[in-house]
Structure 1
């Protein structure tokens, strides 16, 4: 499952060393916002070492600096290796950003004896332009695994003062629909920045799940348990899904279409959602 995606500052050795102990599905070693300019080079070396030496159950990603920055090329050159699962690309505004990134990754894969195409890409949608071109971005490369939403930068770009009420509902829903249309995995929802407000995190995570996101970006280990638990189906949901799938498969074998389970009509979309839930849990 891909419920939790936690950022770890690339210049903080003590946090990097704790990565194997975290209950995250994915670790994102960060070279962008959490690392000051004068510490970029040292952070690259720390992250490269972590990618190659840390033994984690979680997949290993790196958020590089944005494409137009003076750090982007050096970031990719430093971290592309056989044990890197993917790159987060910030502030992607169009397909040309992905095409350039893909070209560069391919060069360093060849140079470093990394299997061609093995490193996936996660574009961060953080601007109005990026959201407008999200479908083109999602279709720009076979490396695209999913899209991620950067709410804080999006609000700055769109002049939205606070994430209150339905301020970001359109953008978030649009990203879910776009991902579906592009045939990629559901997107990842933005970070919840108030690390001391667990009730707020629970509400934001439930909303993300209901909107169709597959998981959430995280900035502190204390947020992991909440997000993991909310995106994990309850035992009641699993029992219901198994019951629906079993009944529907039996009805198909007997040449029956729509059926009822516990008094509710079960047709193809309902059965397929139940199947998907069970498949995702088994991954």
Structure 2
């Protein structure tokens, strides 16, 4: 379970030094859009220092690599530095991930296989997303909202992004992997009320967490993707009542005047699991 992912430019020691203090579940060290071309090699070399430092502070570390001839070099450097996963931009076929997985296997004698998070950022990727979600090493799928809008010749408004982001979300859920995102762009972080509303909406749709580009958004994402105290109380009552009714052979029952059956019980169990994760994180 991952609720919050914070992008940090890979060429900014000032931001990287504080990344582990931000309480994000994942720090995404960005070697792609946030890093100008002349600084990309130096940012890649810096992974040796920053990945272990950030991981030691308690966050997972993903690395967004470049979708160019730098892709394999970036992936190798991230793996050798100990990153947990690669954020792979502009993925538009499962073949890319299959080929990359084969190349990475030869480098991983001394570490577990690094995971993949493909970003869907163009129309071909959007229509191949189901196969992409089933590709090797994929643990989550997400959208690049700004790139998707650009690929469509559109503005990145919530209305424009809603349907393609839901397509990507549904593909992730069908494949049984995590789904990151909100039904809007992540660029506008200044309006915190709008951000909170978008995060709560995403959670209602079943998104597992979301990324952000500013530390001020992290506590909002952590709170919005966590169950509330009232939800946890309801879930505990449902699970307890289900146990009591199951003991006497009832699979469906009424609780506080509402019908409860197997899907609702499973939803309650998942809520309790999410609540435990956030409690453990705060502890």
TM-score normalised per structure 1: 0.92
Matching residue of 1:78: 77
Matching residue of 1:205: 199
Q: Which deviates further from its counterpart, 227-236 or 99-108? A: 99-108
The correspondence for 1:186, drawn from 158, 179, 187, is 179
Matching residue of 1:159: 153
Contact 1:125-1:134 at 8 Å conserved across structures: yes
Matching residue of 1:64: 65
Summarize the alignment of residues 55-204 of structure 1 with structure 2, pairs less than 5 Å apart: 55-66=56-67, 69-81=68-80, 83-110=82-109, 113-115=110-112, 117=113, 119-141=114-136, 143-164=137-158, 166-189=159-182, 191-204=185-198
Mapped to 1, the partners of 2:115 and 2:130 lie a distance apart of 17
Q: Which deviates further from its counterpart, 169-178 or 124-133? A: 169-178
SS in 2 for 1:168: helix
Mapped to 2, the partners of 1:61 and 1:84 lie a distance apart of 6
Query: How far is 1:82 from its partner?
Result: 6.5
Query: How far is 1:162 from its partner?
Result: 3.6
Mapped to 1, the partners of 2:20 and 2:41 lie a distance apart of 23
Query: How far is 1:172 from its partner?
Result: 2.0
Query: How far is 1:228 from its partner?
Result: 1.0
Contact 2:173-2:179 at 8 Å conserved across structures: yes
Matching residue of 1:9: 9
Mapped to 2, the partners of 1:2 and 1:254 lie a distance apart of 37
1:43 aligns with 2:43: yes
> How many residues are aligned here?
275
Matching residue of 2:280: none
Q: Which deviates further from its counterpart, 97-106 or 181-190? A: 181-190
SS in 2 for 1:108: coil
Query: How far is 1:138 from its partner?
Result: 1.1
CA offsets, 1:143-165, max 9 Å, x none?
A: 1101011111000111222414x
Change (3 A) 1:186 1:195: closer
SS in 1 for 2:24: coil
Query: How far is 1:179 from its partner?
Result: 1.4
Mapped to 2, the partners of 1:236 and 1:41 lie a distance apart of 49
Contact 2:226-2:274 at 8 Å conserved across structures: no
SS in 2 for 1:124: strand
Mapped to 2, the partners of 1:45 and 1:30 lie a distance apart of 13
Summarize the alignment of residues 16-31 of structure 1 with structure 2, pairs less than 5 Å apart: 16-31=16-31
Alignment gaps of 5+ in structure 2: 278-283
Query: Once superposed, what is the RMSD of the aligned Cα atoms?
Result: 1.5
Mapped to 2, the partners of 1:72 and 1:185 lie a distance apart of 23
1:277 aligns with 2:277: no
